[in-house]
Structure 1
């Protein structure tokens, strides 16, 4: 067949242009039967995306995409470095797509099939891409981090070293010690920028499951159950497609979920020396022949509240995969300097530092509590700008947030709670 009768081919930029238009306009598309194109955590029917890209490229609103659904369109999109995934497992020799070979090739589902040579565009195709209107993320420096996190430089260095060595870091400490705040800043430090596109935050809870985190069947808008990738798989795919830059998964309140059930067999892949395609495993819900791995450039930072008695300790299998950093309440010079920069008066700063230090010592000395139950500094990090409002602001925090916590701590010893509250509000 001559080149003049060959179907036109798309470029990656033309497909990206179509995806951006779909994101911007939130256009409804007819659902696909078996396959989805996954882009920035959203799913699109591959042929519908190709159809729109083709019409934009040819500047013809009535043009018809010449390739069929399934393997022909999917192969073209995969060659343009887009990720195509199944919506549900299919049986061998299924007639859903008409191409069993394409199903067998899903072993490359999470690794991608990158091509360094973009496909040629048809003659006369309009391939110009409008300039991006979004700006780059602001940079984040070591100086900014030291101004915000109240950690000694040596402890900040130790946290970063643990993250780089193990690729998994767990920040643990009493409530209010800025664990989630620090987790995000550590990620920004490694990224060098406040790049939301390369960080994902999730909070574990008792109902959170493997199907939410990794992969499982979930109902769609039509009431049908479809195989859906969870947050971890989606982020790993993005990291795999961008191997020269780090990506971060931040897990808040990690020990509030059933960690062994949430991670399942992927506990193995979290280890620093079990990353990459050589250690890929088959996921329980995925189609036969497909494999998944955690890429080298994905880092995990979790947080854990040590004061919650309702939570069970982490098992040793998880502990040996993480480096641990203990966070403590920080009411010292760095915190006091931060409050001064916020415009807080010297008398209020002194009251906070003195009273909370004394209260934490009382809590630490109590044999039924201990250091894990001390009060953190994050309760006081957002003072009002007007100095005249600061005394009332401080008193309300002590009465409405700290005092109820003390009543809970000394539930069986109300006299202790009352005495501690009285000293706190004196």
Structure 2
């Protein structure tokens, strides 16, 4: 429990605190005040950022009525991104939608309301459509661009220098790269570092991150009709079209599109005819095409040569169809296996994790991953990655309890999913995993 003489502050929040809040929200199906501008995206689901951080703050501080001393928008989003969560803008709010009528007023109330955050405040929709239909312009400052080098990347990543060189070479050769591997192997983390290495800095202005999901569409990604402030529908560029235009204006500067969970979306439908333009030898104005929604007089569209696409793919997701050959032919693929070797052990030691705890992490996960690999119904694609153990507590004395919590609350439930039809086998592996 936090010391009463030293109040708990948002700076003390860790990724584990936020994950604990997300698990409680999912488990209890807690209703949350909606966000009108940003979403926290985690495992294909979207959450309002500030209510999630508010719950994490209350759980971490042990004070169920504690008020989070951070405003919605930039302060909350920056803290979540520092904890390596993804915060994205959401779709516009429509004035004439019965589902959206109260969203704008509820979001404004979040900064003032300190009562029960689970009970949304009723609000009357504005009379003028422009007050609700338009996406609110909340200032969201990008972090300053800092230099980023290969040495920094190797210090942060648990991969060899050779693997990093292979990833960079594949990206330069094909312009399109997919990082694939089991859950928790740091695919999104590596994707962002590859973009920083390509830029030579952490310049967020030249990086766009999107996450595919079953309802993501061509209209979201390329071009489609969206309502404007007057309630009329206008042709609006999507993420890829906007990024390509920006990249074409600076041909000497690389731009990066990061696609998280690329296999969760219907890739053929999302890319449409533009799948052809992704090929390295189909880039540039001489391969431009006219977009289906564009008027005849509109300029043709092309993918500039300085745009790099990095996707991530979770190989353990059995609910998805395999990627089709048309996509595979246009991407290079880099497998990312779990890394429980020297780099992870040195990282944990540098974080003051006791040697006994480090040995237990390596022994238990190595044994479990071997059992998963040997199982004919699972195989190496279902191994568990090292990122479960990349947020150890700052207090070395709390390390054993932290490890028990990760094994009990995050990994053991996953084993029940892996062996859903074989509960006895799942129980046996849980027992081995959780033994002292």
Question: What does residue range 140-219 of structure 1 map to in structure 2 within 5 Å?
Answer: 140-219=148-227
Aligned equivalents of 1:201 and 1:388: distance in 2? 37
**Structure 2 residue aligned with 1:362, among 334, 351, 371?**
371
Over residues 138-182 of structure 1, what are the superposed CA-to-partner deviations in whole Å (9 max), with x where a residue is unaligned? 111111111111111111111111000000000000000000000
Q: Could you say what secondary structure the match of 1:321 adopts? A: coil
1:245 aligned to which of 253, 262, 273 = 253
**Counterpart among 322, 338, 343 of residue 313 in structure 1:** 322
**Aligned-partner Cα distance in 1 for 2:390–2:200:** 24
1:415 equivalent to 2:424? Answer yes
Deviations 1:94-125 (A, max 9, x none): xxxxxxxxxxxxxxxxxxxxxxxxxxxxxxxx
User: Per-residue CA shift, 1:323-343, capped at 9, x if unaligned?
Assistant: 000000000001111111122
Residue of 232, 243, 251 corresponding to 2:240: 232
Closer, same or farther: CA 366–134 of 1 in aligned 2, 3 Å? closer
1:3 matched residue in structure 2: none
User: How far apart are the structure 2 equivalents of 1:360 and 1:404?
Assistant: 15
Corresponding position of 2:292: 284
- Alignment-derived partner of residue 265 in structure 1: 273
Q: Which runs of structure 2 are paired with 1:397-416 in the superposition (5 Å)? A: 397-416=406-425
Deviations 1:238-290 (A, max 9, x none): 11111101000000000000000000010010000000000000000011132
Superposed CA RMSD in Å reads 1.4
Write out aligned runs for 1:341-356 (5 A).
Answer: 341-356=350-365
Aligned match of 2:337: 328
Residue segments in structure 2 that go unaligned for 5+ positions in a row: 1-88, 90-140
Q: Which runs of 5+ in 1 are unaligned?
A: 1-40, 42-132
Match of 1:384 in 2: 393
Give the whole-Å Cα distance in 2 for the aligned partners of 1:262 and 1:134. 28
Deviation beyond 6 Å, 4+ runs, structure 1? none
CA shift, 1:193, in A, is: 0.4
Offset, 1:135: 8.6
Q: Deviations over 1:73-111 (max 9, x none)?
A: xxxxxxxxxxxxxxxxxxxxxxxxxxxxxxxxxxxxxxx
Aligned length: 295
1:46-90 CA-to-partner distances (Å, cap 9, x unmatched) read: xxxxxxxxxxxxxxxxxxxxxxxxxxxxxxxxxxxxxxxxxxxxx
User: Equivalent residue of 1:309, what SS?
Assistant: coil
Q: TM-score, normalised to structure 2's length?
A: 0.66
Pair 1:138 & 2:146 matched:
yes
Question: 2: distance between equivalents of 1:406 and 1:295?
Answer: 44
Q: Distance in 2 between matches of 1:359 and 1:179?
A: 21
Match of 2:346, SS state, is helix
1:134 deviates by 9.3
Q: Residue 86 of structure 1 aligns with which residue?
A: none
> Partner residue of 1:295?
304
Partner of 2:313: 304
Q: 3-state SS of the aligned residue for 2:357?
A: helix
| Superposed counterparts of 1:77-156, under 5 Å | 137-156=145-164
> 8 Å contact 2:175–2:308 — kept in the other structure?
yes
SS at match of 2:190: helix
Does the CA-based 8 Å contact 2:150-2:197 persist in structure 1? yes
**Contact 2:142/2:204 (8 A) holds in 1:** no
Q: TM-score, normalised by structure 1?
A: 0.68
Instruction: State the distance in 1 between where 2:146 and 2:181 align.
Output: 29
Shift of 1:221: 3.3
Post-superposition offset of 1:344: 1.1
Q: CA deviation at 1:136?
A: 5.0
